[in-house]
Structure 1
Amino acid sequence: MTAIPEYSSFTPAGLVGFYRRVIKLPERIPLSLVQLASRIAVAHVFWQSAQTKLASWPVTLQLFANEYNLPFIDPSIAAPLATTAEITGSVLLFLGLFSRLGALMLLGIVSVIQIFVFPENWAEHLLWASLLLLVLTRGAGVISVDRLADWAFGRRA
């Protein structure tokens, strides 16, 4: 009986092995790049939202009074509070400075929007919340002021 030449790329084990190597390639992407992309993406969303509010403050006050209908807070307080939180949270996330605090602030905003303002947009809110939860639970990553501060103040890990 003659031996059949082994062509590992054509045998089932070869194809399975190749597939396993290919699907593991994304695991080589550093988590810090994922954290950075998450921070920048969600910071951009809330920064743009705040800029829109600031561009036409009378319209913003009108939206908070008539469309958003927040049940527990006066629109004249809610509008500046929300805008300030969006700006502050966006800057903190973008820089990676007190990023977990910034993520928590923006998660609060996402929760209010989801519950009281636009509950039908749950998929978009879930996307934002997922990115914010990554930062809240894993931190800002290596490319951040938080990490630089840890290093500067002697908590080198």
Structure 2
Amino acid sequence: MTAVPTMSSAPRSGLIALYRKAVKLPERLPLSVVQLAARVAVAHVFWQSAQSKLASWPVTLQLFAAEYQLPLIPPELAAPLATTAEITGAVLLLFGVFARFGALILLGVITTIQIFVYPGSWAEHLLWASLLLLILSRGAGAISLDAVAQHLLPERN
């Protein structure tokens, strides 16, 4: 004996099927689009930070001496190192070339800021770090120079 659907169960099963389709819809978004968005977002943050440092170098040196105060590294060395890391990491991420290395550089910057400079800004740092961990673990994606290089330069055994 088979159960006959009642009037109340038919619309409910239709809603469940519609819900399941809606939940699956974002899975159609290519991961490479997510990777590109992550790269551009984080690159923008660190590019802007580096540009503000370069806009007024004397103020940057004062910030590193008075506010940032990294241990073991004098401000005259810390400021150019941080600025270089931000520019390098941002450019590598933006173009998706050596993107994992760029992500690693910026994760180092974030870790330094979190531990020594602004430990209370952990939520913002975690957001940036999450995007960088995506790039570090999954790479730059199909929309990157890394992908072009991998396509043009086959692996040798």
Normalising by the smaller structure, the TM-score range is over 0.9
Q: CA deviation at 1:7?
A: 8.7
Residue 48 of structure 1 is matched in structure 2 by 48
Residue 78 of structure 1 is matched in structure 2 by 78
Structure 1 CA distance for aligned equivalents of residues 82 and 16 of structure 2:
51
Residue 93 of structure 1 is matched in structure 2 by 93
Q: CA deviation at 1:24?
A: 1.0
Q: List aligned pairs for 1:70-149, cutoff 5 A.
A: 70-149=70-149
Aligned residues: 152
Residue 58 of structure 2 is matched in structure 1 by 58
The AA in structure 1 aligned to 2:45 is V
Residue 32 of structure 2 is matched in structure 1 by 32
Structure 1 CA distance for aligned equivalents of residues 15 and 5 of structure 2:
17
Which contiguous aligned blocks of 4+ residues in structure 1 show a shift greater than 2 angstroms?
3-8
Q: Secondary structure at the match of 1:84?
A: helix
Residues 87-127 of structure 1: per-residue CA shift (max 9 Å, x gap): 00000000000000000000000000111111111110000
What runs of 5+ residues in structure 1 fail to find an aligned partner? none
TM-score by length of 1: 0.92
Structure 1 CA distance for aligned equivalents of residues 16 and 40 of structure 2:
37
Structure 1 CA distance for aligned equivalents of residues 107 and 59 of structure 2:
24
The AA in structure 1 aligned to 2:19 is Y
TM-score by length of 2: 0.92
Structure 1 CA distance for aligned equivalents of residues 146 and 72 of structure 2:
34
Over the aligned positions, Cα root-mean-square deviation in angstroms equals: 1.6
Structure 1 CA distance for aligned equivalents of residues 125 and 16 of structure 2:
37
Structure 1 CA distance for aligned equivalents of residues 130 and 5 of structure 2:
51
Q: CA deviation at 1:146?
A: 0.4
The AA in structure 2 aligned to 1:17 is A
Structure 2 CA distance for aligned equivalents of residues 4 and 83 of structure 1:
67
